[in-house]
């Protein structure tokens, strides 16, 4: 069935390090892909999105490129800050089936 | 900015009680959703609504019901609370264009519910 797989956390990095959080998906058809972020004590916020192959979503220094050939949507940031500590969720939407599928989330800790 | 407000941040109830979780959004969104979030399981959809008085089951509706009498308000009801319903509950809303799941969802800050 359709699914989203994220790398397991927690991921711990030092400030200014390069970040990659892997996300791969399984879906028939052409989903839209999203990254959401959940800061401590808050709900999820949309971070970025891409709706078709080769689209690049970007926001707050984060980027992710929709790779249809590898069915991936990896999240990257060149230099992380302590304030980026949060849980990150990859998600896809399949309009055809009217559902959204979330990954299980990856907790990120950034050390000063 | 869209504001999704959940009535309580923390709630403690007893087994067998009827529990109401309230959610209000201020952006005239057609769609509203209730999820529960558990460690290691991510988000799971309980119910959603695409219009006033309309509701659809999500992936885990058992033990829950919902009510949407006004467009801006979506209530989750635990008919007879049980300890396995202890969880973080998240409400979300989205615009209606293109179907219930075609637009990004905006989330509230969550209600952490403990059933003793």
Cα pseudo-dihedral B93, B96, B101, B105, rounded to 10: -30
* Residues recorded for chain B: 116
Contacts of A43 in chain B (CB under 8 A): 4, 90, 92, 107-110
Question: Does residue B25 register a pLDDT over 60?
Answer: yes
Q: Which of B43, B101, B109 sits opposite A42 (nearest CB)?
A: B109
Smallest CA–CA separation between B115 and chain A, in Å?
20
For chain B, give the mean pLDDT: 93
Per-10-residue mean pLDDT of chain A, 112 residues long, equals: 89 97 91 94 92 95 96 97 96 78 94 95
pLDDT of residue A96: 57
Q: Please state whether A29 falls in left (phi above 0), alpha (psi between -120 and 50) or beta.
A: left
pLDDT of residue B69: 96
Q: Which of B42, B90, B102 sits opposite A104 (nearest CB)?
A: B42
Q: Does the distance separating the beta carbons of B104 and A100 come in below 8 Å?
A: no
Give the bridge partners for B103, in sequence order: none
Residue pair A92/A2 in contact (Cβ under 8 Å)? The answer is yes
Contact partners, residue A5, CB within 8 Å, separation at least 6? A23, A24, A25, A26, A103
- Give CA–CA dist A68/A53, Å, rounded: 6
Top residue of A5, A44, A46, A91 to mutate, by most chain B CBs within 10 Å, is: A44
* Alpha-helical segments (H) within chain B: none
Q: Which of A46, A89, A95 sits opposite B102 (nearest CB)?
A: A95
- Using a CB–CB cutoff of 8 Å, tell me whether A11 touches chain B: no
Residue pair B69/A2 in contact (Cβ under 8 Å)? The answer is no
Rg (CA), chain B: 13
Q: Of A14-18, A58-62, B50-54, B63-67, give the lowest mean pLDDT range.
A: B50-54
- Give CA–CA dist A38/A62, Å, rounded: 14
Q: Which helix (H) or strand (E) holds B112?
A: strand B111-115
Q: Which of A45, A93, A103 sits opposite B101 (nearest CB)?
A: A93
Closest CA to A93 of B60, B31, B67: B31
Q: How confident is the model at residue B2 (pLDDT cuts 50, 70, 90)?
A: low
Q: Does the distance separating the beta carbons of A43 and B99 come in below 8 Å?
A: no
pLDDT of residue B98: 74
């Amino acid at each position: 069935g359709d699914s989203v797989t994220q790398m397991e956390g927690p991921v711990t990095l030092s400030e200014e390090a390069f970040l990659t959080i892997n996300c791969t998906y399984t879906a028939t058809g052409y989903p839209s892909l999203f990254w959401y972020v959940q800061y401590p004590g808050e709900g999820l916020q949309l971070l970025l999105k891409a709706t078709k192959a080769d689209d690049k979503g970007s926001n707050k220094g984060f980027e992710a490129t929709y790779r249809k050939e590898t069915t991936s949507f990896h999240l990257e940031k060149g230099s992380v800050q302590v304030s980026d500590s949060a849980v990150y969720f990859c998600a896809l939407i399949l309009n055809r089936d009217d559902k959204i599928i979330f990954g299980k989330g990856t907790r990120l800790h950034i050390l000063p | 900015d869209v504001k999704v407000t959940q009535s309580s941040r923390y709630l403690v109830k007893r087994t067998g009680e009827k529990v109401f979780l309230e959610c209000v959004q201020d952006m005239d969104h057609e769609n509203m959703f209730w999820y529960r979030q558990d460690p290691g399981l991510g988000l799971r959809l309980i119910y959603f609504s695409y219009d006033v008085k309309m509701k659809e089951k999500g992936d885990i509706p058992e033990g829950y019901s919902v009510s949407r009498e006004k467009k801006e308000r979506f209530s989750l009801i635990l008919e007879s609370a049980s300890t396995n319903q202890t969880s973080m509950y998240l409400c979300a809303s989205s615009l209606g264009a293109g179907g219930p799941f075609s637009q990004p969802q905006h989330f509230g800050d969550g209600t952490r519910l403990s059933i003793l």
